[in-house]
Amino acid sequence: MTSFLNALPGAISQGLIWGIMAIGVYITYKLLDISDLTVDGSFCTGGAVCVVLMTAGYNIWVAMLGATLAGLLAGLVTGFFHTKCGIPAILSGILTQLGLWSVNLAIMDMKANMPLNVNNYDLLISLRYLQEVQKGTRPFYQHPVIVVGLVTVVLIAVLYWFFGTELGSSLRATGANGNMARAQGINTSFNKVLGLALANGLVALSGALLCQYNGFAEINMGRGAIVIGLASIIIGEVAFGKLFRNFALKLLAVSLGAIIYYVVIQFVISVFKMNTNYMKLISALIVALFLAIPYWKEQYFRKKGKVKGNA
């Protein structure tokens, strides 16, 4: 249990970072009703662009902006395949993800791994910062949980404002009922492309933050990102669905879902001494559990209602 408590700040930090990615998945999966698999590639794209720009001498803000724009472009490609080429959304995402593997390698100069040494660059967050804050050698406000928490709050505020505008509302209408949206004169194709671009921009930003935290960008860093994103959405809905009705709070629930996901994984690894090679199996079981909970609750109350009716 002591090892779990010691690792808890790191698990929360990673949960917040992946929570930004999960918010991007939420936009496509829940608002646009599109299963976008681009994220497994665009997550790595964000990390790769961030590391390359920083090692080229650009400051952290330019590097993160460049990473976000690269993610936007990845989303635009998926949107182009889907809306202009008539390819189903899920296949469009797979095609873009497949192509991004080579693109990401090219960005990293055909290297599978690129380091980002915290001693040589002024990073926004780092695992080293977490350890130094705990030791008292770095001010508390540079703790990754505080920094990424503030970034998350700002992003949620911006998204809440955007989806309250006419354009944002039309994007939500596109996902809710595309035929009705078109009947109202809304350009649904444009909105799908916009939503995919916005979502993958957030995913790439998350990748840029994770490469800083870990101190490197790696070609496989985005593998399974869609699973983590969907798990965060599902966990957030199960845990906070009845409490959080406001749109901003729903986005917050997604971020909290990512934190819960990583805390549970850390608990299993630390307390039960599980081999980290079983991480994928543990992740699958956690997702399956939270998917099953609503069904079990429905079945329980249905049986309870039948018993009362028969009585």
Residue 114 pairs with which residues in a beta bridge?
Answer: 217
Contact between 143 and 133 (Cβ < 8 Å): yes
More confident residue, 300 or 308: 300
Contact between 292 and 237 (Cβ < 8 Å): no
pTM of structure: 0.92
Is 5 exposed, middle or buried (CB count within 10 Å of its CB: 0-12, 13-18, 19+)? exposed
Contact between 203 and 37 (Cβ < 8 Å): no
Q: What HEC string does 133-159 produce?
A: HHHCCCCHHHCHHHHHHHHHHHHHHHH
Model confidence at 306, in pLDDT bands (50, 70, 90)?
A: low
Model confidence at 4, in pLDDT bands (50, 70, 90)?
A: confident
Please choose, from the candidates 86, 92, 117, the residue with its C-alpha nearest in 3D space to the C-alpha of residue 35. 92
Please choose, from the candidates 127, 151, 126, 129, the residue with its C-alpha nearest in 3D space to the C-alpha of residue 138. 129
Overall domain count for the chain: 1
pLDDT at 62: 95
Please choose, from the candidates 99, 63, 78, the residue with its C-alpha nearest in 3D space to the C-alpha of residue 194. 78
Q: Determine how many CB atoms are found less than 10 A away from the CB of residue 121.
A: 17
Which residue shows structure tokens 């699973």?
A: 227
Please choose, from the candidates 80, 98, 102, the residue with its C-alpha nearest in 3D space to the C-alpha of residue 89. 80
> For residue 255, what is the domain's CATH number?
1.10.3470
Q: How far apart are CA 68 and CA 152, in angstroms?
A: 15
Give the pLDDT mean for 241-258.
Answer: 91
More confident residue, 137 or 49: 49
Q: Is the pLDDT of residue 311 over 60?
A: no
Give the pLDDT mean for 107-134.
Answer: 90
Q: Is the pLDDT of residue 194 over 80?
A: yes
Q: What are the tokens at 111?
A: 């290297």
Q: Is residue 265 part of a domain?
A: yes
204-219 tens-digit pLDDT: 999 999 999 999 999 9
pLDDT at 71: 96
Of all residues in the chain, what percent carry a pLDDT higher than 70?
97
pLDDT at 310: 61
More confident residue, 219 or 134: 219
Q: Is residue 26 part of a domain?
A: yes
Give the pLDDT mean for 162-184.
Answer: 92
Q: Is residue 311 part of a domain?
A: no
Of all residues in the chain, what percent carry a pLDDT higher than 90?
59
Helix (H) or strand (E) holding 115: strand 113-115
More confident residue, 65 or 1: 65
Domain around 66: 2-306
The 3-state DSSP class for residue 1 equals coil
Give the pLDDT mean for 115-129.
Answer: 90
More confident residue, 290 or 161: 161
Q: How far apart are CA 95 and CA 110, in angstroms?
A: 20
Backbone angles phi, psi at 71, to 5 degrees: -65, -40
